[in-house]
Chain A
Amino acid sequence: MSNLLAFAVFGVDWEFLKPYIVIGLAFGGVYALSGVGLVVLYRATGVLNVAFGAIGAAGALIAYYIVNHTSWPHWLAYTICVLFGGVTNLAYGMVFGPAFARRDALVKMMGTLGLALILLGLMAWRAPAGGAFARFLPLGTTQTRYTILGTSVSLTQLIALLLAFVITFGVTLFLRVTRLGTAMRALADDREVTAMLGVPVRRVEAAAWFGSGLACGAAGLLLPDLLTSLDYSALTFLVISSLAAALIGRLRSLGATLAGGLAVGLAQSILSPYTQVSAYRSAAPFVLAILALLFLSRRRVVTISRTAG
């Protein structure tokens, strides 16, 4: 019965689609993870950080160096990668945050674009690619594999998916229950009033920068394993898929961001068997993001733009 339904919906046998669904969900988990970080940061500080991919890639490169050129334990390398995400994000937020504080969201985003370009240039300069070799950052958990719905799935892929759910629910709970979380939500609602009420705005923002940076670092650690190779240029631009997830979440709902991330991952993967569109499936995140944005703009928004631009 479910087969028939699936056939009707997808036009293809459910059996046939199963592996693609599994694969798509694993990637979707990482996009969702990064997307949640983007949304939390945006709500708390007004900054949509498009340098997430670049920061994650830089952290992955550092982890790669540690694993391949030192004898430090691997778990330390992975921890440093995640922490690097948090630290770099926090540093940018502390140094440039105040300067951009009074500007609109667009200018804040363009600032992070500057950061992304700088990081990309640094990585390309100091860690050049060859032609005869590639960098890999395989995680230990990839060795463990399970067969789910007829496809072999690594523990890493399961962790990525699980982490997305855990982080989404965890952060939602955190925002609702803890004082810091409530302060962040207050900031998101109205900055001025929150400051007037005596909430330590800078400290709350710092927590948001650092926390979302950790999500960015975690995504940066998982992606090279899922993609198989550590291509910092590709990783930098994968932020667009996370952006798509965040936009599907309307830049406010974490649950919708999670769903959005999974949708983006699924869309790319499930389109593979359809020969007509298969070649264009990499455009799925872009198309989904465009649809999300158009949906967001259903109601006409009249802006009161600032003269400073």
Chain B
Amino acid sequence: MTSISELLDRGTVVRAAVAVTLLAIAIFLFPHIAGSDWITTFTSVAIYAVVALGFGILYGRAGMISLGQVALLTIGCWIGTRLAYATGLPFPLLLLAAGGITCAIGVLVGLPALRLSGIYLALITLMFAGATTIVLSVTDFPNGGGGFKGRSVTGALTTSTPPVRRPSVAEGDVAYYRYTVIVCALLFLIALVHVASKPGRAWASIRESEPAALAAGVNITVYKLWAFALASFMTGVAGCLLAAQVGVPRAITFQTQDSLTLAATALIGGIFSVWGAIVAGMFNQLLPFLFQAQWGVNPNFLLIIFGAGLLQVLLTAPGGLADQFPKDMLNLGRLIVRGVRKLVPARGTAS
């Protein structure tokens, strides 16, 4: 893992430049060439990329698999919705509050789970996701009503409550897309800073070998909790962004299955790199849109693709597409160069 002082080496600078360029294209150029349906889709791609990044931090960096990340997303969405209706807080504060409270919940869930490892941790997070889904299906999302749950029974409602408010500078779809991309980029940056500095090194050593880390004086409990805290915070903020994007979140749209497909897409995208999280977001949100609306493919194929992709990643390409794709492209490049060399006779031998 690189330390901050090594960040200034050439490779990193190039990577950073590429990232900044792509970000600029995404924010400034993309809305001009894409229709509003693409904008909406890519807003949720950004949101789910953050969730996948949280998953990647937990698993790729700290070695802990959580099958309940979408449950945390749901909780963040709920908190954001409740606060949006109940308070007049400016939107950035809503994001922070949703992130903070979700962070606290994530740490609370993580605390007893710390002693669990591998498979047991995965199972307990899955059970947490399932329990959350059920509790949510009873309480549903707030819609402007009073009380803790904030949901008024629609008996007396004759017109719908307004959707969850967006930041005043970003009310339209395109503006909100830009806002979301910027916030997500900030979250990515926070994650990157973590990975490049002390926590990242601690996570790497924990992942490699816990006893060795323990022997080296790494406080395993603190760093594991830190990973939970970071992942939960990011997912909570993403949840609040989702609430404002959707406007009228409903419990029925958040299913236990989503946590599983998120894990699958995060792994397929690649848990060891930040690009992998973006690829995961695309798999999770862009691919269904492409299947439905552009290519007319039966959406149930997606489950098959996710399942097969997951198997493939686990077996042959643990780094996921983000890792595999450049390697494949490199191999392809080498193949092409070799082929060209064979076809084109060497200089000096041509007649």
A20 — which chain B residues lie within 8 A by C-beta?
none
Could you mark each residue 279-304 of chain A with 1 if its beta carbon is under 8 Å from any beta carbon of chain B, else 0?
11011011101100110111111111
* Residues of chain B having any CB pair with chain A under 8 Å: 59-60, 63, 65, 112-113, 115-120, 122-124, 126-128, 130-131, 134-135, 138, 207-211, 214, 256-257, 260-261, 263-264, 267, 298, 300-311, 314-315, 318
**A247, B314: Cβ atoms under 8 Å?**
no
B122 — which chain A residues lie within 8 A by C-beta?
106, 109-110
Q: Which of B113, B138, B214, B318 contacts A280 (CB 8 A)?
A: B138
Q: Which of A111, A117, A301 contacts B306 (CB 8 A)?
A: A117
B119 — which chain A residues lie within 8 A by C-beta?
48, 104-106, 109
B115 — which chain A residues lie within 8 A by C-beta?
297-301
Give chain A nearest CB distance to B217 CB in angstroms: 15
Taking the complex as formed, is A125 at the interface, i.e. its CB lies under 8 A from any CB of chain B?
yes
**A279, B138: Cβ atoms under 8 Å?**
yes
Give chain B nearest CB distance to A185 CB in angstroms: 20
**B304, A286: Cβ atoms under 8 Å?**
no
Give chain B nearest CB distance to A71 CB in angstroms: 30
Q: Which of A110, A122, A293 contacts B124 (CB 8 A)?
A: A293
Q: A297-B112, A303-B118, A309-B63 are in contact. List 8 more A-B contacts (CB 8 A).
A: A106-B122, A110-B310, A117-B310, A118-B303, A118-B308, A121-B304, A243-B123, A309-B60
Q: Which of B59, B130, B209 contacts A283 (CB 8 A)?
A: B130
**A121, B128: Cβ atoms under 8 Å?**
no
Give chain B nearest CB distance to A41 CB in angstroms: 14
Q: Which of B113, B210, B303, B306 contacts A124 (CB 8 A)?
A: B303
**A290, B131: Cβ atoms under 8 Å?**
yes
Which residues of chain A (60-117) have a CB below 8 Å from chain B? 96, 99-100, 103-107, 109-111, 113-117
Taking the complex as formed, is A307 at the interface, i.e. its CB lies under 8 A from any CB of chain B?
yes
* Residues of chain A having any CB pair with chain B under 8 Å: 48, 96, 99-100, 103-107, 109-111, 113-122, 124-125, 237, 240, 243-244, 247, 279-280, 282-283, 285-287, 289-290, 293-294, 296-305, 307-309
CB within 8 Å for A290 and B308 given contacts A107-B314, A297-B116:
no
In the bound complex, CA of A307 to CA of B280 (Å): 22
Q: Which of A125, A286, A296 contacts B128 (CB 8 A)?
A: A286
In the bound complex, CA of A107 to CA of B65 (Å): 10
The 9 A-B pairs with the shortest beta carbon distances in the complex, nearest first, are: A121-B303, A117-B307, A118-B307, A121-B304, A114-B310, A114-B311, A125-B300, A286-B131, A106-B118
CB within 8 Å for A110 and B267 given contacts A283-B135, A300-B115, A305-B63:
yes
CB within 8 Å for A305 and B209 given contacts A110-B267, A113-B310, A279-B138:
yes
Q: Which of B207, B302, B304 contacts A305 (CB 8 A)?
A: B207
Q: Which of B124, B261, B307 contacts A290 (CB 8 A)?
A: B124
Q: Which of A115, A118, A298, A303 contacts B210 (CB 8 A)?
A: A303
Give chain B nearest CB distance to A50 CB in angstroms: 9
In the bound complex, CA of A279 to CA of B257 (Å): 21
| Beta-carbon nearest neighbor of A109 in chain B | B119
| Beta-carbon nearest neighbor of B257 in chain A | A237
Q: Which of A100, A104, A119 contacts B118 (CB 8 A)?
A: A104
Q: Which of B112, B127, B261, B311 contacts A96 (CB 8 A)?
A: B311
| Beta-carbon nearest neighbor of A124 in chain B | B300
B301 — which chain A residues lie within 8 A by C-beta?
121, 125
In the bound complex, CA of A177 to CA of B14 (Å): 66
Interchain Cβ contacts within 8 Å, total number? 154
Give chain A nearest CB distance to B221 CB in angstroms: 10
A114 — which chain B residues lie within 8 A by C-beta?
264, 306-311, 314
B260 — which chain A residues lie within 8 A by C-beta?
113, 116-117
A307 — which chain B residues lie within 8 A by C-beta?
207-208
In the bound complex, CA of A290 to CA of B121 (Å): 10
A285 — which chain B residues lie within 8 A by C-beta?
130
In the bound complex, CA of A182 to CA of B36 (Å): 64
Give chain A nearest CB distance to B222 CB in angstroms: 15
| Beta-carbon nearest neighbor of A236 in chain B | B257
B214 — which chain A residues lie within 8 A by C-beta?
302
Give chain A nearest CB distance to B301 CB in angstroms: 6
B261 — which chain A residues lie within 8 A by C-beta?
117
A298 — which chain B residues lie within 8 A by C-beta?
115
Give chain A nearest CB distance to B324 CB in angstroms: 15
**B117, A303: Cβ atoms under 8 Å?**
yes
In the bound complex, CA of A107 to CA of B135 (Å): 29
A109 — which chain B residues lie within 8 A by C-beta?
119, 122
| Interchain residue pairs with CB less than 8 A apart (7) | A121-B300, A124-B303, A125-B301, A243-B123, A290-B127, A303-B118, A308-B318
**A115, B130: Cβ atoms under 8 Å?**
no
In the bound complex, CA of A96 to CA of B312 (Å): 11
**B128, A290: Cβ atoms under 8 Å?**
yes
Q: Which of A96, A100, A294, A309 has the most CB of B within 10 A?
A: A309
| Beta-carbon nearest neighbor of A48 in chain B | B119
A280 — which chain B residues lie within 8 A by C-beta?
134-135, 138
Give chain A nearest CB distance to B169 CB in angstroms: 40
In the bound complex, CA of A293 to CA of B306 (Å): 28
Q: Which of B135, B208, B300, B307 has the most CB of A within 10 A?
A: B307
**B211, A304: Cβ atoms under 8 Å?**
yes
Q: Which of B307, B315, B318 contacts A99 (CB 8 A)?
A: B315
| Beta-carbon nearest neighbor of B261 in chain A | A117
B257 — which chain A residues lie within 8 A by C-beta?
237
A304 — which chain B residues lie within 8 A by C-beta?
209-211
Q: Which of A115, A289, A293, A303 contacts B307 (CB 8 A)?
A: A115
**B130, A240: Cβ atoms under 8 Å?**
yes
CB within 8 Å for A293 and B123 given contacts A104-B118, A283-B134, A303-B210:
yes
| Beta-carbon nearest neighbor of A307 in chain B | B208
CB within 8 Å for A283 and B65 given contacts A115-B307, A301-B115, A309-B318:
no
A96 — which chain B residues lie within 8 A by C-beta?
311, 315
CB within 8 Å for A283 and B311 given contacts A293-B116, A294-B112, A305-B63:
no
**A100, B315: Cβ atoms under 8 Å?**
yes
